[in-house]
Amino acid sequence: MVVIGSGPAGVAVAERLYKERPSVTIAIIERGSTLLRRHFYTNGALIGERDRFLARHQVCPWEGDLDEGGALLPALGGRGIVGGSQLHRFYASDLTLWPNGLWPLTEGELDPYFREAETRLLGGSRCGGPAQEYVCESLANLHARHPPCGPAVDTERRPSVGLPHHSSVERLLALLDMDRAAPSRRLRIFTDTRAVRLVADPARPRHMSRVRCVPAGEPGGAHFDVHGGAFVLAASAVESARLVLVSGVQALNGMSTNVGRYLMEHVYCRGYLDVSRHQKIPPGPINVFVPPQSAALENRFQVEICSVTHPADGRSVLRVTGSAAMDPQRQNRVTLSPDRVDGHGVPRASTVLRLSPGDERRKMSLLRGLQNIAALLGGSWLAPPAVMPRGASYHEAGTLRIAQSPAEGAAAPDGSLFGWDNVFTGDASAFPSVGVANPILTITAMGYRLADRLASRLGIFERA
Ligand SMILES: Cc1cc2nc3c(=O)[nH]c(=O)nc-3n(C[C@H](O)[C@H](O)[C@H](O)COP(=O)(O)OP(=O)(O)OC[C@H]3O[C@@H](n4cnc5c(N)ncnc54)[C@H](O)[C@@H]3O)c2cc1C
């Protein structure tokens, strides 16, 4: 099994296959290096440090609308090493709510995978104490509460500076340790290795045989091929679609014309609320979220409230961030740049991501919601809520979405790309709608589900 990308998506597929199917050997191809062995605990004072780390290491390999604020973090563990203070299930209603983005699976089907993801990922401690309780009580009518915590949670609810979770890189390195101790090796991780093209098998219709790779930091370096029985695309929604498009295979086997289409992310709005002179908010860490207030499309947004320290004077500030869903639209898409290539001669991805009238209404509703939260909490805006550049949510989705037919999506409900028997979408590119929840937990649950589908087809791949 060849997995391209080592973020939360690639790790989920690999860890489940490795543990459940002892006959499988797995290669993971990752363009970045090992930058961190644990992830940043993203809360409180550490947020500034985390953001500086991100600014130093992230790269934006695409152009167009989404490059205004988005980027990849080429590293073992992907963006999972900096994200994860909010790990939510995809809200069940979002599976069926979006007229143009119905999921070909049910909440019940996903439930066991969510439970497993929660067991593996959530853990550590939670914010507690009077500050956290004050904010939850002030926003009780909006159902504000602490983000989900795992079974290992500190039940005393003692104040904590973060919400540790078991991140992609930690789980992958643990898997590698386990493999090193095993009598025969089954896991190979290629870091600093860029996948540039999938290559079809001339002898077997509907099958890829290998992925062409180049050393990531060496333009002009010699390429090599990694062969496999099956291939999982887990390079992020933009990069996974680019890999398919750049491989020049979409004309083969009646592939769907939806490859690259239905690109989405969250409309991201953020403000900073100064609560340093607030008489009632006690000192202490805060990490609270406010779920969507109803199933009306206009209200499909979620708000996160997090204590941060002002970088200049150390004042206590609340960072208030809203993520609103986007309508799935066919014209929002990833294509190949007609004239620009990267250092390896590969066409850059070009992104189109425009808001629909419904998105605009939802955005305005979100901005009103943020003002309402500020009024309920008190304090004054240090920076009033503003819409962040496109891409800034880092929650891209769609592009190879699963659907019942090629007319509606690019992949079958089991994740296999239409037209191909052994290529699978393993990241948020598979999402038919982006919904409201932060994606890591859903990406992980979907990764476990995909691993089970792959396992049930192992015989087919072995014969390849
Ligand atoms: C600061 C920050 C905070 C966040 N907070 C949260 C949060 O609290 N909760 C949440 O759910 N989400 C959060 N996110 C979003 C979350 O990190 C992403 O949604 C998630 O990492 C996506 O997982 P992925 O595996 O699909 O992609 P990625 O994590 O981007 O991993 C893709 C990997 O593929 C590699 N790759 C790409 N192209 C190639 C190629 N051609 N060849 C080889 N390798 C390749 C990349 O280097 C990367 O390592 C946050 C993101 C950021 C940046």
- The 3-state DSSP composition of the chain as helix, strand, coil percent (nearest 5) reads 30, 25, 45
Instruction: Report pLDDT for 192.
Output: 97
Instruction: Report pLDDT for 91.
Output: 97
Q: What is the 3-state secondary structure (H, E, C) of 40-79?
A: CCCCCCHHHHHHHHHHHHCECCEEEHHHHCCCECCECCHH
Mean predicted confidence (pLDDT) in 168-184: 95
- Give distance in angstroms: CA of 181 to centre of ligand 1: 29
- For the Cβ of 79 lying below 6 angstroms from any atom of ligand 1, the answer is yes
Is the full-model pTM beyond 0.75?
yes
Instruction: Report pLDDT for 285.
Output: 83
- For the Cβ of 3 lying below 6 angstroms from any atom of ligand 1, the answer is no
- For the Cβ of 449 lying below 6 angstroms from any atom of ligand 1, the answer is no
- For the Cβ of 235 lying below 6 angstroms from any atom of ligand 1, the answer is yes
- Give distance in angstroms: CA of 460 to centre of ligand 1: 30
The contacts found for 204-212 with CB under 8 angstroms, 24 or more apart, are 204/464, 205/253, 206/253, 206/419, 206/420, 206/421, 206/422, 207/420, 207/421, 207/422, 207/464, 208/249, 208/420, 208/422, 208/423, 209/464, 211/2, 211/4, 211/29
Instruction: Report pLDDT for 249.
Output: 79
Whose Cα sits closest to atom 52 in ligand 1?
83
**DSSP H stretches of helix in 40-199:** 46-57, 94-97, 107-121, 130-138, 168-181
Instruction: Report pLDDT for 221.
Output: 79
231, 213 contact by CB (below 8 A): no
In whole angstroms, give the CA distance from residue 149 to residue 441: 12
360, 339 contact by CB (below 8 A): no
Nearest residue to 41 (alpha-carbon basis) of 372, 236, 285: 285
Helix (H, G, I), strand (E, B) or coil at 164: coil
- For the Cβ of 447 lying below 6 angstroms from any atom of ligand 1, the answer is no
351: CB partners within 8 A, 6+ apart: 62, 63, 64, 65, 66, 67, 238, 263, 333, 334
Taking CA atoms, 41 is separated from 44, 178, 266, in Å, by: 9, 25, 22
Q: For residue 462, is pLDDT > 90?
A: no
CA-CA-CA-CA torsion sign (342, 346, 347, 349): negative
Instruction: Report pLDDT for 129.
Output: 83
296, 369 contact by CB (below 8 A): no
In whole angstroms, give the CA distance from residue 149 to residue 126: 7
Ligand 1 atom nearest 77 alpha carbon? 49
The model's pLDDT over 354-410, given as tens digits with 9 standing for 90+, comes to 999 999 999 999 999 999 999 999 989 999 999 999 999 999 999 999 999 999 999
Instruction: Report pLDDT for 464.
Output: 47
Whose Cα sits closest to atom 35 in ligand 1?
5
- Give distance in angstroms: CA of 80 to centre of ligand 1: 5
Instruction: Report pLDDT for 44.
Output: 57
299, 324 contact by CB (below 8 A): no
- Give distance in angstroms: CA of 204 to centre of ligand 1: 33
Characterise 357 by phi-psi region: left (phi > 0), alpha (psi -120 to 50), beta (else).
alpha
Tokens representing residue 277 in the block: 């002179």
- For the Cβ of 162 lying below 6 angstroms from any atom of ligand 1, the answer is no
Q: For residue 154, is pLDDT > 80?
A: no
Whose Cα sits closest to atom 6 in ligand 1?
83
Q: For residue 161, is pLDDT > 50?
A: no
Instruction: Report pLDDT for 122.
Output: 85
Mean per-residue pLDDT of the chain: 91
- Give distance in angstroms: CA of 85 to centre of ligand 1: 14
Instruction: Report pLDDT for 316.
Output: 81
- For the Cβ of 234 lying below 6 angstroms from any atom of ligand 1, the answer is yes
157, 129 contact by CB (below 8 A): yes
- For the Cβ of 167 lying below 6 angstroms from any atom of ligand 1, the answer is no
- Give distance in angstroms: CA of 434 to centre of ligand 1: 15
Instruction: Report pLDDT for 59.
Output: 95
274, 317 contact by CB (below 8 A): yes
Instruction: Report pLDDT for 401.
Output: 98
- For the Cβ of 391 lying below 6 angstroms from any atom of ligand 1, the answer is no
Query: Who wins on pLDDT, 293 or 251?
Result: 293
